[in-house]
Amino acid sequence: MAEQARAEEAAEAEVGALVDRLKERIYATITMIAVVVGLSAGHAGPAGAAATVLTTALALWLAAFAADQQAHRTVHRGFATGAELRRMLYVSSPLLTCAVAPAVMITLAALGAMSLHTALLTAAGLAIASLFVWGFVGGLRMGGGRFLALLAGLVDAVIGVAIALVKVSAGH
């Protein structure tokens, strides 16, 4: 009985880590949409754009990690170590990986395969497409059928487009 309870608790903790990790992935994706759209309207070259994308991802990760540690210290009266620290790093890693697609697109622009403007807008489009995919998958997993999953994906993609439009209308 006690072993089963521990197994259920461990499974629940694993699911919780996956939920938190996906939340960070979606948050980072939304943030990166705003960053690459802002860069596409600016005058940065490929090196400046790459530096902005990479430092943004690093800053997001550092901020999340610092907040996690501070919250852990406050609640548990000590620093996260061992399994708790590994969970924090696992959950927050999508904040770093959100820079991969934009960095690849910027590299292609630097190599002359496309203009930087096109590369940045493509990166934004890929991020918006990923929001659609996560929404669609979430809709399917909720059991609402393909139509409702498609609707959920479209709503999430519209949110991504709205963020891009807010960034453009802000003039950045």
- Per the CB < 8 A criterion, the answer to whether 37 and 118 are in contact is no
- Per the CB < 8 A criterion, the answer to whether 148 and 139 are in contact is yes
- The rounded distance, in Å, linking the Cα atoms of 128 and 10 is 33
Tokens representing residue 45 in the block: 């070259």
CA atoms within 13 A on the CB side of 29: 22
Q: pLDDT tens per residue, the chain (172 residues)?
A: 677 777 777 778 788 889 999 999 999 999 999 999 999 988 899 999 999 999 999 999 999 999 999 999 999 999 998 999 999 999 999 999 999 999 999 999 999 999 999 999 999 999 999 999 999 999 999 998 999 999 999 999 999 899 888 888 886 5
